[in-house]
A = this chain, B = another copy of it.
């Protein structure tokens, strides 16, 4: 291989240590390449449980593992904690600020962020959930809203602080709404004096006709029933037209006064991919060849949520198992290339999907099997604990869950600081 890095061993640079990037890096162990993994976080994040950090069920370190630690055994691998600011595919290098790093093979697995569909000004009022920082921000807003309500003497004015809107009823939105309803109805009661936290309203706002639209219809219906049983108000066919600090507007001028809104609607891939000069889909994902490399740029792979992969006309979903399979496949492709062999097309093996709603409440689709309620929740719990392999915290998470399950105890209801004015964001009130 003609190496621009001038090294004996080709250098594989991996952008992002999410499920795809991490799996690729791990799978390259023992291959005669030098690997550099670049991430702007120092940790790999178990994103499927991020909603639990946002709703104060788990602590941040419970679902994060230091990237260096996870990859420490691979001695021909280096981790850089930094952010790639520019790609230069014609010179086979990437830039981190004003440092250049050349590569022989580049794998882009930068994941996805939120999209506000062109209304970026909503981000301030309706944060999305992708990073630990997002989760901690959302947790702060939720806990502070209850604190603010407690400071208000006039009952009528308390409403907007005790109304939470979650926009988007995909898995993240469903999980957030369910966990929020449980927090309000099962964990907080008794903690406040001026209101009954059981009266909290949680609204799940969905633009389409049903929740969990990627699931079969019977499971959507079941999820909706389970959500309502938990106390979530599901509003389908509700298009958001405005979000501000006081609430959101939907459809033709209907107004919902909610001081806390969480965004779980749109996905947008990092704009870094625009530097590739390849076709991108509407969410910014790169259309890749069957072997996951770019058409005409066989030394660049795009993996995970950043990749648009189609199989039999159907898009491979942006879920952790798909990302891991892509990482593993890319490692194999790289090995075949180094051996001068033809690469093989990627095949997604769908092992099913599941979304949790609350305690003993979930839906799962595993092949032809449709599970709901307790059975689905057990399946979900089992799969998520199995997946936490490599985390220090499988046992800690298990205990937190068992603890919460037995007694609805609080786990991580911690605010690191007051609001900047020192007054918990509550309006001034006589006491």
Q: Is B416 touching A136 in the complex (CB atoms < 8 A)?
A: yes
**Smallest CB gap from A101: residue in B:** B431
Given the complex of chains A and B, what is the CA–CA distance between A36 and B85 in angstroms? Answer: 51
Contact stretch, chosen from A76-84, A208-216, A255-263, A304-312: A76-84
Q: Is A69 touching B99 in the complex (CB atoms < 8 A)?
A: no
Q: Is B82 touching A423 in the complex (CB atoms < 8 A)?
A: yes
**Smallest CB gap from A73: residue in B:** B190
Query: Pick the contact of A80 from B40, B133, B151 — CB < 8 Å?
Result: B151
Contact stretch, chosen from A270-278, A279-287, A407-415: A407-415
Q: Which A373-431 residues have a C-beta within 8 angstroms of B? A: 392, 395-396, 399-400, 403, 409-418, 421-424, 426, 428-431
A4 at the interface (CB under 8 A from B): no
Contact stretch, chosen from A15-23, A55-63, A313-321: A55-63
**Smallest CB gap from A85: residue in B:** B422
A43 at the interface (CB under 8 A from B): yes
**Smallest CB gap from A135: residue in B:** B416
A228 at the interface (CB under 8 A from B): no
**Smallest CB gap from A53: residue in B:** B61
Q: Is A414 touching B60 in the complex (CB atoms < 8 A)?
A: yes
State the number of copies, please: 2
Q: Is B43 touching A97 in the complex (CB atoms < 8 A)?
A: no
Contacts of A98 in B (CB 8 A): 428
- Given A60-B59, A151-B80, A411-B392, A69–B424 Cβ distance below 8 Å? no
Q: Is B418 touching A81 in the complex (CB atoms < 8 A)?
A: yes
- Encode A33-65 as 1/0 by CB contact (under 8 A) with B: 000100011110000000000000001111011
Q: Is A414 touching B64 in the complex (CB atoms < 8 A)?
A: yes
Q: Is B69 touching A413 in the complex (CB atoms < 8 A)?
A: yes
Task: Name 28 A/B residue pairs within 8 A (Cβ), A-sorted.
Answer: A40-B418, A41-B417, A43-B414, A59-B59, A59-B61, A59-B62, A60-B414, A66-B191, A66-B413, A66-B414, A68-B192, A80-B150, A80-B431, A81-B415, A82-B151, A82-B424, A82-B426, A83-B418, A85-B422, A96-B423, A97-B428, A99-B430, A99-B431, A100-B430, A136-B416, A392-B403, A395-B399, A396-B400
Given contacts A59-B60, A81-B150, A81-B418, 5 further A-B pairs with CB under 8 A are A42-B414, A97-B423, A131-B416, A392-B403, A395-B403
Which A residues have a C-beta under 8 Å from some C-beta of B? 36, 40-43, 59-62, 64-66, 68-69, 72, 78-83, 85, 96-101, 131-133, 136, 143, 147, 150-151, 190-193, 392, 395-396, 399-400, 403, 409-418, 421-424, 426, 428-431
Q: Is B430 touching A61 in the complex (CB atoms < 8 A)?
A: no
* Residue among A61, A98, A395, A430 with max Cβ neighbours from chain B (10 Å): A61
Contacts of A426 in B (CB 8 A): 82
**Smallest CB gap from A397: residue in B:** B396
Q: Is A81 touching B424 in the complex (CB atoms < 8 A)?
A: yes
**Smallest CB gap from A43: residue in B:** B414
Contacts of A150 in B (CB 8 A): 79-81
Given the complex of chains A and B, what is the CA–CA distance between A99 and B131 in angstroms? Answer: 37
Q: Is B43 touching A422 in the complex (CB atoms < 8 A)?
A: no
Given the complex of chains A and B, what is the CA–CA distance between A430 and B431 in angstroms? Answer: 60
Contacts of A36 in B (CB 8 A): 431
